[in-house]
Amino acid sequence: MKNNINFLDLGLQPLANNYLKKNQLNRKEKKYRLKIGINIGTKLVSINQPISSKLMFNNKYPYRSSMSKTMLKSFQNLAVLINKKFKPKKILEIGSNDGSFIKNFSKKKVIGIEPCSNVEKITKKKGFNTYPLYWNLKTAKKLLIKEGKVDLIYSANTISHIENLDEVFRSIDIILNDNGILIIEDPSLLECLKKNTYDQFYNEHIYVFSLIGLENVLKKHNFEIFHIQTLEIHGGSNRYFIKKRINKKKISSSVKDQKKKEMKYGINKISTYRKFAKRVKLSKKKLKKIFLKIILNDNKIIGYGVTAKSTTILNYCKIGNDLVSYFIDTTKAKQNKYTPGTKIPIFKYPGFIEKDIDFVFLGAWNFKKEIFKKEKNFIKRGGKFIIHTPTPKIL
Ligand code: TMP
C-alpha cells in the first residue's frame, strides 16, 4: 500500500478461507507475504499487498454469519434499534452473506448485496431481494436505477475487506438519502492491539479500522461519524453510525470518548505498532511452547472452530498436523476439508468434545463465551482450552 510504514511481518500465508479438498493436498498452494503497515497520512492500518477480491469472494465462499448464536442475536438487537431510532423505509445491506441480518426485516423493505453467489443464493431462496454483486460504483449506479435511494445502509465485516475505500464511500454517497444513515461494523484496531490479536490480519481483512483512521477517509467524502458503539463481537468490534455532513444531527459524546481512548493508547504513533510487533513475536514463541509441552507429554490436541483468524495463527506459528490432530467445526462448507497451508483435517462437530480429548485449541476464540457455555461438560471433567489472546495460555 502507498505511504505505508510496515511494522509486522506475518510470513507467507495462504488464502485464509481456502479450505483444501483431499485431492488438493499434494498441489502447491499459492502463498502471499503478509506484512502489516500504517499509512502515514490517514493512519489507516492495513495489509501491504491486497489480493484480488475475485480470488477470495466467489461462489465457493465458506463463511456463514448464521453459524453463531452471538452474531444472530447481535443482528436481531440491531434491527430493533434501527426500527425504533431511524424508522427507515428502505434498507440496503452491503455483504449480506446468508441473510442473517436482513431476515429481521420485512422482505419489501430490504435489499442485500453479496458477491459470493453461493451464500447470496441462500438469502434469495428465502424470498429476499438480493444481488450477487461486489460493492462499487457500477453496482451503486445500477441499484439507483432499479431500486432508488435508500434510507439506511448497514455493512458488517465487509467494508474492511475492500481495498478502494474512496470508491466504497463514493458509491454509498450516490445511493444514500441526504438524511440517511450508514452503519458499519468491523473489528476494532484498539482492541486488536490491546488483546494482541494479530490474527485479525489475514488476506481478507485489508484494513483493521480505528475511529481515527476511518474518520480520515470519511472526511474526504463529506461523511461524519455521529455515534459509536463498542461491541464484543469478533473479539472486539466498533459499530460506527455515520451521516452525511449536510445532515445536522448531533454528534454524541461517544465519538469524542473513543477518540480520546485511541489517542491515549497511541494509535497514531509508530512506536505503538513496533511494541505490538514485539508482543506478537513473543506470543508466537509462547504458544508454540505450550503446544510442544502438551504433545511431548503424550497428550492429543484438537482444534475447535476453524476461522480465517486461525489460518493466520497456525501458519505464522507453524502449527501443523503434528501438533493438532484435527479441527471440529459446525460449518458444512469447511467439514471434510483441510486447513489452508497447515493441512489439518476438519471434521463435523459431533455435538460435544469427545471423551479422549483433554486439550482443545480455540480457533474461534471470538466466540469463547458461547463455546464455553456449550462445552461446560468438557470443562467440568477437567478439559482445557488453549487460547492465544491476550497472551497464550491454557484455560
Ligand atoms: P469466524 O470467527 O470467522 O466467524 O468463524 C467461526 C467458526 O467457528 C465457524 O466456522 C463456525 C465455528 N463455530 C463452531 O464450530 N462452533 C461454535 O459453537 C461456534 C460459535 C462457531
Rounded-to-integer distance, Cα 88 and Cα 91, Å = 7
Q: Is the CB of 237 within 6 Å of ligand 1? A: no
Q: Separation of 382 CA from ligand 1 center, angstroms? A: 23
> Which atom from ligand 1 is nearest to the alpha carbon of 366?
2
Quick one: pLDDT at residue 106?
97
Task: Tell the CATH topology of 42-268.
Answer: Rossmann fold (3.40.50)
Quick one: pLDDT at residue 63?
85
| DSSP result, 79-99 | HHHHHHHT--SSEEEES-TTS
Phi, psi of 134 (to 5 degrees): -80, 150
CATH annotation of 4-36+271-394: 3.40.50.720
Angle 169-175-177 (CA atoms, 0-180°, nearest 5)? 105
Nearest CA owner, ligand 1 atom 20 = 68
Query: Identical fold at 4-36+271-394 and 42-268?
Result: yes
Q: Separation of 176 CA from ligand 1 center, angstroms? A: 33
Q: Is the CB of 191 within 6 Å of ligand 1? A: no
What average pLDDT does range 50-55 have in this prediction?
89
Give the pLDDT confidence of 372-393 residue by residue, as tens digits.
999 999 999 999 999 999 999 9
Q: Separation of 309 CA from ligand 1 center, angstroms? A: 11
Is pLDDT of 28 > 90?
yes
Nearest CA owner, ligand 1 atom 1 = 307
Quick one: pLDDT at residue 269?
96
Cβ(183)–Cβ(241) below 8 Å: yes
Quick one: pLDDT at residue 211?
98
What CA–CA distances, in Å, run from 3 to 44, 90, 188? 10, 39, 22
Average pLDDT of the chain to the nearest whole number: 96
**C-alpha cell of 312?**
493466520
Give the pLDDT confidence of 194-242 residue by residue, as tens digits.
999 999 999 999 999 999 999 999 999 999 999 999 999 999 999 999 9
Residues above pLDDT 90, as percent of the chain: 94
In angstroms, how far is CA 17 from the centroid of its own chain? 12
Residue 162 CB burial class (10 angstroms; 0-12, 13-18, ≥19): buried
Q: Is the CB of 76 within 6 Å of ligand 1? A: no
Best residue among 63, 65, 67 to mutate for probing ligand 1's pocket (most ligand atoms within 8 Å of CB) is 67
Where in the chain are the domains?
4-36+271-394, 42-268
Contacts of 92 by beta carbon, 8 Å cutoff, 6+ apart: 110, 111, 112, 113, 143, 147, 150, 152, 153, 154, 175
Quick one: pLDDT at residue 140?
98
Give the pLDDT confidence of 259-298 residue by residue, as tens digits.
999 999 999 999 999 999 999 999 999 999 999 999 999 9
What average pLDDT does range 355-366 have in this prediction?
96
Nearest CA owner, ligand 1 atom 3 = 307
Quick one: pLDDT at residue 67?
83
Q: Separation of 358 CA from ligand 1 center, angstroms? A: 20
What CA–CA distances, in Å, run from 285 to 65, 289, 316, 326? 32, 6, 11, 22
Q: Is the CB of 68 within 6 Å of ligand 1? A: yes
Closest by CA to 334, choosing from 354, 362, 308, is 308
> Which atom from ligand 1 is nearest to the alpha carbon of 65?
4
Rounded-to-integer distance, Cα 147 and Cα 142, Å = 8
Q: Is the CB of 134 within 6 Å of ligand 1? A: no
On whether the pTM is more than 0.85, the answer is yes
> Which atom from ligand 1 is nearest to the alpha carbon of 67?
11
Is pLDDT of 144 > 90?
yes
* Least trusted range by pLDDT, from 59-73, 146-160, 189-203, 229-243: 59-73
* Least trusted range by pLDDT, from 31-45, 50-64, 290-304, 352-366: 50-64
Quick one: pLDDT at residue 271?
98
Quick one: pLDDT at residue 56?
87
Quick one: pLDDT at residue 64?
87
Give the pLDDT confidence of 294-347 residue by residue, as tens digits.
999 999 999 999 999 999 999 999 999 999 999 999 999 999 999 999 999 999
Rounded-to-integer distance, Cα 359 and Cα 384, Å = 5
> Which atom from ligand 1 is nearest to the alpha carbon of 330?
15
Give the pLDDT confidence of 114-130 residue by residue, as tens digits.
999 999 999 999 999 99
Q: Is the CB of 368 within 6 Å of ligand 1? A: no
Quick one: pLDDT at residue 68?
85
Q: Is the CB of 149 within 6 Å of ligand 1? A: no
Quick one: pLDDT at residue 1?
81
Q: Are strands 176-187 and 150-156 parallel, antiparallel or unpaired?
A: parallel
